[in-house]
Amino acid sequence: MSSKKSPAKKPEKFQFDAIVIGTGPGGEGAAMQLSKAGKRVAVVERYELVGGGCTHWGTIPSKALRQSVSRLVEYNTNSLFNDNHTRNLSFQDMLNHASAVIRKQTQLRGGFYQRNNVPVFHGEASFIDQHHIQIKRNDGSFETVSADKFVLATGSRPYTPKDIDFSHPRIYNSDTILALKHEPKHIIIYGAGVIGSEYASIFRGLGIKVDLVNMRDRLLSFLDAEISDALSYHLWNNGAVIRHNECYSKVEGRDDCVVMELDSGKRMKADCLLFANGRTGNTDMLNLESVGLKPDSRGQVKVDSNYRTEIDNIYAVGDVIGYPSLASAAYNQGRFAAEAMLHGKCDTRLIEDIPTGIYTIPEISSVGKNEQELTAQKIPYEVGRAQFKHLARAQISNNLVGSLKILFHRETKAVLGIHCFGENASEIVHIGQAIMQQQGAGNTMDYFVNTTFNYPTMAEAYRVAALNGLNRIFD
Domain regions of the chain by residue span: 16-157+280-343, 171-277, 362-470
Q: How far is residue 179's CA from residue 277's CA, in Å, rounded to a whole number?
A: 19
Q: How far is residue 451's CA from residue 264's CA, in Å, rounded to a whole number?
A: 55
Residues placed in the known binding site: 45-54, 63, 154-156, 191-198, 278, 319
How far are the Cα atoms of 104, 145, 236, 458 from residue 197, in angstroms, in the given order? 27, 42, 12, 25
Q: What residue ranges in 26-119 does DSSP mark as E strands? A: 41-45
Query: DSSP class of residue 89?
Result: -
Quick one: average pLDDT of 29-58?
Answer: 91
Q: How far is residue 406's CA from residue 417's CA, in Å, rounded to a whole number?
A: 6
Q: How far is residue 449's CA from residue 32's CA, in Å, rounded to a whole number?
A: 41
User: Could you give the percent of the chain with pLDDT greater than 90?
Assistant: 77
Query: DSSP class of residue 241?
Result: E
Mean pLDDT is lowest, of 105-114, 411-420, 466-475, for 105-114
Q: How far is residue 276's CA from residue 258's CA, in Å, rounded to a whole number?
A: 15
404: confidence class by pLDDT, cuts 50, 70, 90:
very high
Q: What residue ranges in 159-247 does DSSP mark as E strands? A: 171-173, 186-190, 209-213, 241-243
Query: DSSP class of residue 245?
Result: S
pLDDT of 61 higher than 90: no
Q: How far is residue 258's CA from residue 247's CA, in Å, rounded to a whole number?
A: 16
Please report which helix (H) or strand (E) contains residue 342, including its range.
helix 327-343
Q: Strand, helix or coil at 10? A: coil
> Which residues are bridge partners to 150 per DSSP?
19, 314
Query: DSSP class of residue 402?
Result: E
Name the H helices within 209-356.
225-237, 327-343
CA-wise closest residue to 61 among 394, 327, 457, 428: 327
pTM: 0.91
Name the H helices within 190-346.
194-205, 225-237, 327-343
pLDDT of 83 higher than 70: no
Which pLDDT score, from 0 to 100, does residue 444 have?
Answer: 93
Q: Does 171-277 carry CATH code 3.40.50.12780?
A: no
Nearest-5° Cα angle at 426, 420 to 430: 85
pLDDT of 414 higher than 90: yes
Higher pLDDT, 321 or 52: 321
Nearest-5° Cα angle at 447, 445 to 452: 135
Q: Does 16-157+280-343 carry CATH code 3.50.50.60?
A: yes
Q: How far is residue 292's CA from residue 312's CA, in Å, rounded to a whole number?
A: 11
Mean pLDDT is lowest, of 7-21, 44-58, 324-338, 410-424, for 7-21
Question: Quick check: 212 and 235 in contact, CB under 8 A?
Answer: yes
pLDDT of 2 higher than 50: no
CA-wise closest residue to 152 among 24, 60, 53, 33: 24
Fold agreement (171-277, 362-470): no
Please report which helix (H) or strand (E) contains residue 79, including its range.
helix 79-82
pLDDT of 302 higher than 70: yes
Which pLDDT score, from 0 to 100, does residue 424 have?
Answer: 94
Residues placed in the known binding site for FAD: 45-54, 63, 154-156, 319
How far are the Cα atoms of 28, 112, 179, 332 from residue 108, in angstroms, in the given order? 12, 7, 23, 19
Which pLDDT score, from 0 to 100, does residue 243 have?
Answer: 97
* Cβ neighbourhood burial of 429 (10 Å; 0-12, 13-18, 19+): buried
408: confidence class by pLDDT, cuts 50, 70, 90:
very high
Kindly report the average pLDDT of the chain as a whole number: 92
* Second-level CATH architecture of 362-470: 2-Layer Sandwich (3.30)
CB-hemisphere CA count at 13 Å for 7? 3
User: Could you give the percent of the chain with pLDDT greater than 70?
Assistant: 96
Which pLDDT score, from 0 to 100, does residue 166 have?
Answer: 97
pLDDT in tens, 195-229: 999 999 999 998 999 999 999 999 999 999 999 99
pLDDT in tens, 136-184: 998 889 999 999 999 999 999 999 999 999 999 999 999 999 888 778 9
Which pLDDT score, from 0 to 100, does residue 227 have?
Answer: 97
Residue 243: count of CB within 10 angstroms of its CB:
17
Q: What residue ranges in 130-276 does DSSP mark as E strands? A: 132-136, 142-152, 156-158, 171-173, 186-190, 209-213, 241-243, 248-253, 258-262, 267-270, 272-275
pLDDT in tens, 86-124: 677 777 777 777 788 888 888 888 889 999 999 999 999
How far are the Cα atoms of 17, 186, 331 from residue 334, in angstroms, in the given order? 16, 41, 5
pLDDT of 367 higher than 80: yes
Query: DSSP class of residue 450?
Result: H
Per the rule left: phi > 0, alpha: psi between -120 and 50, beta: everything else, 155 is left
Which pLDDT score, from 0 to 100, does residue 11 have?
Answer: 55
Whether the bond between 362 and the residue before it is cis, its omega within 30 degrees of 0, is yes
